[in-house]
Amino acid sequence: SRPVGSCVARGGDTNGPAAVYSIEKYLEWLKAYAPPEAQGMTFGESGPVPAQGAIAQQIFWYTAFTADSVKEGLPVVNADGTPKWRMAPSPHGVYWKDGMKLGYQDAGSWTLLKS
């Protein structure tokens, strides 16, 4: 998990303007709006939290979280089984210029195992 091959110097963007902006904004919002325990959570620990119903907004949505957020009986699911929540399009920051990509893309660097 050291993506040196995707740095700006090698044609990637992991240390480009969008990445730097997003990390700075994430840390700012984490400290200002998230409960203190969120700062110590791992990726796996934080993933199921939105489905518990105590979050008004989430900064990042990973498709692997979706299945756990639409199960019957959850506080974030309507009685008819439809989700109460919605996903918004990816925003962009002050760094953005016309023609730049928008949003997150992982083009095959990782594999989600069937298990």
User: DSSP code of 16?
Assistant: S
As a whole number of angstroms, the distance between CA 15 and CA 64 comes to 25
Residues 82-98, mean pLDDT to the nearest whole number? 81
pTM, two decimal places:
0.56
101 vs 16 pLDDT, higher one: 16
Give the DSSP letter string of 57-107.
--S---GGGTGGGS-TT-TTB-TTS-BS---PPPP--TT--TTS--S----
Domain ranges of the chain: 7-34, 42-90
On the question of pLDDT at 1 being above 90, the answer is: no
Q: Which tens digit of pLDDT belongs to each residue from 35-73?
A: 888 899 988 888 788 888 877 777 677 777 788 888 889
